[in-house]
Structure 1
Amino acid sequence: MNLQSLFYHFNASKFVVFFSLLLFSIVLSLRLDGVVTCSYWAVFTPLWLWKLMTFSGCAVGVVVWRRRPQNRPEAKIDFHAMLISVSLQLLIFIFEILLCTRLESQSLHWRSVFIPLFLFGVACIASCVWGCRRDRNLELEVWGCINTLQFVFLALRLDGVTSWKWKIVLIPLWIELALAGLVVLYLIGWATLVVCGNEVLAPDGRQTSAVAALFVSVGFISAVTFMGLLIEKVDDINDLPFTGIFVPLHIAIISFLLLSFAQKGGNPWWFGMRKEFCDWLFTGLPWLQEYGNVSFTWWSNRGREDNARGGDIHTDTHTQFCYEGKSAKDASKDVVMKIVSIAEPD
């Protein structure tokens, strides 16, 4: 296990998003089954905390941007990408407020509730054009683009304008899942090629590809299972409790949550960090540098002892600790030094 690689590939933004969604899905399933009777404003608390961190991180980033003009030319695209992301999440935040109001008071039409999502879809199209021209990584924007039609179908069905069955209403989502299935198959094929071909990537790269393919596959299968159970529930085909129906969704979110430890990325201007989260964390907490440089492996000395004693069978298995390819005795003499880049701004 390589802790340095774990820290290096950690994506803090995705971890916050999926952790918030996991808590929200758990509380929502309990609320739908009547296990808890709190208001929907309380049910949405994990999403409120997610948005609070987003808006706080953007505010701090804007302050740092204004106070450090020397960083503007080289980080202009990252800063603008952060502002675009916050604008999109602001529309989602407005939708969540209107949704809670509708669930609590029944005073709004569903088409009015979904207006922020309609605007969100249009804004995502413009954001995708902007991001493609600047070679940006697009995830939330692409998701918003391909779900715009789904938002329209949901609003019309909930208001009773159409009387389609839910499996027809969710046709755009099924198409999206079919395309996602093709991506999953590609990832599985690529991971198989990487693992079997020793010369394609380094060992760490092969391990990362295999883990990513595993988690994505589990998440995809769980998400499809959840959608099938939910559609049968709302179409009165099964009478399963929502807590049982949401179990595959919990598994899918946990898979993507664990995958955040193998997906390096994120905008460096959140909270004005101006660097990767790993570098920022090590700068703020220097004592983590010692653990970040540790790589350990467990292996058995049984075979070595058997050879030394003429093939006798022994039942005791001893393990040793390896630090960056060295024994524990040699590793204790090493001094962990912090690497500082001179070209990195203050």
Structure 2
Amino acid sequence: MDTKRIFRDFNHCKFLVFTCLLPAELFVSLYLDSVINWSLWLVLLPIWTLKVLVIAGALVGTIVWCHKPFRRNEADGFTDFKAMLITVGIQVLLLLFELLLCNKIESNSPISWILVFTPMYLVSTLSIGACIWGYKNARSTELESLISLNTLLFVFVSLKLHNVIHWNWSVIFIPLWIIMCLPTIVVLHHLWTLAFLRSNFHGVDKQSLVLDTIMWIAIDVPLLTFEILLASRLDQQNDISWVNIFIPLHISLLGLIWSTFGRKGGNTWWFGLREDFCTIFLRICPFMRLYGNVECKEREGGDGSEIMMMPVVTQVVCKSPSKCEPVVAVTHIATPD
């Protein structure tokens, strides 16, 4: 068990996004089954919370950028700031689409569906440019890539809702089926590697590979199941309740939340922090440093009858502003019989 990796490789930005999406889609499923009679504006409260945090974080980061010019000379400071502006621009356009969508559904507005989806056309164009910029600057552009690849899907859905085309939803989702082939290929590649992995393969961490394979399966299979059930329900080929249809999506989002603990990243310009989130967290909560500086490994005893947890003192994750004391490891911790 390496708790140091949890703090070191934690991606707080993705964790916040997926944590807000989980209750939002849970409320949507209950709303569609008429289990709750809330307004759609209230159903999407987690989404509005996410947007407020994103916009507030960008505003504070911009103020820090303007009032502390010396921060611009830090490593990748200017690139991180531009990445933050691109992200908040995409989020603002997504917010505009969500507002138009809620207004269309709640008040039965005469606005056409094509106009409602106009922000998605714009955000797709912006995402394509962001992907090119991210490739040139070695930046992660997962959200931008996902949006740009679904551009054709947004066009098909808007035309379907506007009654311009009368295709089945399974045909409308063809761009989505094509995109879902990519994570499926990743899962098959991981399974193939595990099947033919030998102990004499140098540079391959089998434990990490197994965990990555389980994570990808937990994300890809439920997500694909949800999309199939959704298309079948929209085409009126089944009468499965919306709550049951959304269950695979819950599992997939839980897998995505799990993945944030092993995917280092996140822009440090949000709220003008300019430090890793876990570094600040460990500074505020010093007692958590014990768990962030000790790595426990299992080792069998000499006769093979006892398994001991051997704590290993590792590099301190977070140093105290005033004083930093090394963590003293216990000689061994034997598991009870």
Q: TM-score, normalised by structure 1?
A: 0.84
Alignment partner, residue 158 of structure 1: 161
Aligned CA distance change for structure 1 residues 193 and 64 (closer, same or farther; 3 Å): farther
Indicate if the aligned counterparts of 1:226 and 1:248 stay in contact, CA closer than 8 A: yes
Paired residue secondary structure (1:200): coil
Which one is further off, 74-83 or 205-214? 205-214
Matches within 5 A, 1:179-198: 179-189=182-192, 196-197=199-200
Shift of 1:287: 2.6
Aligned CA distance change for structure 1 residues 122 and 7 (closer, same or farther; 3 Å): same
CA distance in 1, matches of 2:71, 2:196: 41
Aligned CA distance change for structure 1 residues 265 and 189 (closer, same or farther; 3 Å): farther
Alignment partner, residue 77 of structure 1: 79
Indicate if the aligned counterparts of 2:292 and 2:316 stay in contact, CA closer than 8 A: no
Shift of 1:194: 7.0
Aligned CA distance change for structure 1 residues 273 and 85 (closer, same or farther; 3 Å): same
Aligned CA distance change for structure 1 residues 265 and 149 (closer, same or farther; 3 Å): same
Alignment partner, residue 315 of structure 1: none
Shift of 1:267: 0.9
Indicate if the aligned counterparts of 2:293 and 2:317 stay in contact, CA closer than 8 A: no
CA distance in 2, matches of 1:140, 1:161: 29
Which one is further off, 229-238 or 175-184? 175-184
Indicate if the aligned counterparts of 2:279 and 2:317 stay in contact, CA closer than 8 A: no
CA distance in 2, matches of 1:280, 1:155: 44
Indicate if the aligned counterparts of 1:62 and 1:272 stay in contact, CA closer than 8 A: yes
Alignment partner, residue 99 of structure 2: 97
Amino acid across the alignment from 2:135 = C
Paired residue secondary structure (2:261): helix
Alignment of 1:34 with 2:34, yes or no, is yes
Indicate if the aligned counterparts of 1:31 and 1:43 stay in contact, CA closer than 8 A: yes
CA-based RMSD of the aligned residues comes to 2.5
Paired residue secondary structure (1:324): strand
CA distance in 2, matches of 1:302, 1:238: 60
Indicate if the aligned counterparts of 2:22 and 2:250 stay in contact, CA closer than 8 A: yes
Paired residue secondary structure (1:236): coil
Aligned CA distance change for structure 1 residues 338 and 20 (closer, same or farther; 3 Å): closer
Shift of 1:188: 4.0
Aligned CA distance change for structure 1 residues 159 and 179 (closer, same or farther; 3 Å): same
Shift of 1:185: 2.5
Indicate if the aligned counterparts of 1:192 and 1:210 stay in contact, CA closer than 8 A: no
Indicate if the aligned counterparts of 1:194 and 1:209 stay in contact, CA closer than 8 A: no
Any idea what the Cα deviations from partners look like across 1:292-343, whole Å, max 9, x if unmatched?
11223567779556xxxxxxxxxxxx77553217xxxxxxxx99795489xx
Any idea what the Cα deviations from partners look like across 1:137-157, whole Å, max 9, x if unmatched?
111111111111110000000
Indicate if the aligned counterparts of 2:298 and 2:307 stay in contact, CA closer than 8 A: yes
Shift of 1:240: 0.5
Aligned CA distance change for structure 1 residues 189 and 263 (closer, same or farther; 3 Å): farther
Amino acid across the alignment from 1:97 = L
Alignment of 1:322 with 2:310, yes or no, is yes
Any idea what the Cα deviations from partners look like across 1:206-250, whole Å, max 9, x if unmatched?
433321221112211111111111111111111000001111111
Alignment partner, residue 250 of structure 2: 250
Any idea what the Cα deviations from partners look like across 1:53-78, whole Å, max 9, x if unmatched?
11121122112222321120331001
Amino acid across the alignment from 1:185 = L
Alignment partner, residue 67 of structure 1: 67
CA distance in 1, matches of 2:27, 2:201: 45
Paired residue secondary structure (1:58): helix
Alignment partner, residue 115 of structure 1: 118
Amino acid across the alignment from 1:281 = F
Shift of 1:49: 1.0
Indicate if the aligned counterparts of 1:195 and 1:206 stay in contact, CA closer than 8 A: no
Paired residue secondary structure (1:264): coil
Matches within 5 A, 1:120-269: 120-189=123-192, 196-197=199-200, 199-201=202-204, 206-269=206-269
Which one is further off, 265-274 or 275-284? 275-284
Q: TM-score, normalised by structure 2?
A: 0.87
Which one is further off, 59-68 or 147-156? 59-68
Report how many aligned residue pairs link the two structures. 318
CA distance in 2, matches of 1:217, 1:337: 31
